[in-house]
Amino acid sequence: MTDAGKPSQALVEAQTREWVARVVVGLNLCPFAGRPLASGQVRFRVSEAETAETLLEDLQAELAWLDAQPPEETETSLLIVPHMLADFHDYNDFLALADMLLERFGWEGRFQIASFHPHYQFADTQPDAPENYTNRSPWPMLHLLREDSLEQVLRHYPEPEQIPLRNIETMNRLGRDALIALRTPPESGEDG
C-alpha cells in the first residue's frame, strides 16, 4: 500500500496479471486468452481515476490508444480501476456510460467492453452463486476487446456458445473454498 492507503499501480497490476494467468487462463475460462497473454499482446493499464468523469477520460484514451495499435502488437487491454466502483451497482451504472462513450466516438461495432468486478453478480442469481465467479476479479476492470478479432476466433472455435456453460460447470466443480480462494488476490510483492 502507498502512504495514502491506496494500493500502488505495481501491486494492482501484479495482482491482475496473476489473476488472469491463474484464473482466466489457468481454468480456461476464456479459451482465447492464453495466446495473447503469452505473446505479450495484452495491455494492463491501471487507472488512477476517482470520479466517473476522469474514468471516462481514461477509458476514451485507452480505446483511442488501442485503436491506433495493430492487433498483432496489442490485441486487447484491461483497464483496471482500483480507486472507485467498489460497489457492484455503481460499477454496473458506469458500464452504461462506457457503452455511451463507445457510441459517441464511433467505436460501437469495433470494440466491446467485457466486465469484471470483485462482487460480480449476474442477474437473477444469488450473491454466492458459483457462476458469478466466472467474472469476479481482484479489482473492478473493463476489458476492451476488438470485435473483429473476437468474431474471427469465434468462427474457428467449436460451439462457442458452450463456453459460459462450461465455465459454470467448472465453478460448480471447484466448490466454495476454492471459489473464495479465486477471489483472494495472491500475495504479490510491493515496490514501495
Say if residues 54 and 61 touch (Cβ distance below 8 Å): no
pLDDT the model gives residue 29: 94
Evaluate whether residue 172 is within a structural domain.
Answer: yes
Give the tens place of pLDDT for each residue, 50-62. 999 999 999 999 9
Residue 2 lies in a domain: no
- The pLDDT score that the predictor gives to residue 148 is 95
Q: How many domains does the chain have?
A: 1
Confidence class of residue 38 from pLDDT cuts 50, 70 and 90? very high
Q: What are the backbone angles phi and psi of residue 176, rounded to the nearest 5°?
A: -60, -50
Residue 45 lies in a domain: yes
Is 191 within the bounds of a domain? no
pTM of the model: 0.91
Cβ-contact 125, 171 below 8 angstroms: no
Q: Is residue 35 part of a domain?
A: yes
Task: Give a yes or no: residue 188 inside a domain.
Answer: no
Residue 92: give the domain boundaries. Answer: 9-183
Residue given cell 465455465 in the structure block: 167
In a domain, 189, yes or no: no
Assess whether pLDDT exceeds 70 at residue 190.
no
Q: What's the DSSP call for residue 28?
A: T
| Amino acid 191: pLDDT | 38
In-domain check, residue 82: yes
List the helix and strand counts (H, then E) for the chain. Answer: 7, 4
Q: Is residue 106 left, alpha or beta, with left meaning phi > 0 and alpha meaning psi from -120 to 50? A: left
pLDDT tens readout for residues 68-125: 999 999 999 999 999 999 999 999 999 999 999 999 999 999 999 999 999 999 999 9
Q: What is the mean pLDDT of residues 21-30?
A: 94
For residues 146 and 62, the answer to whether their CB atoms sit within 8 Å is no
pLDDT higher than threshold 90 for residue 158: no
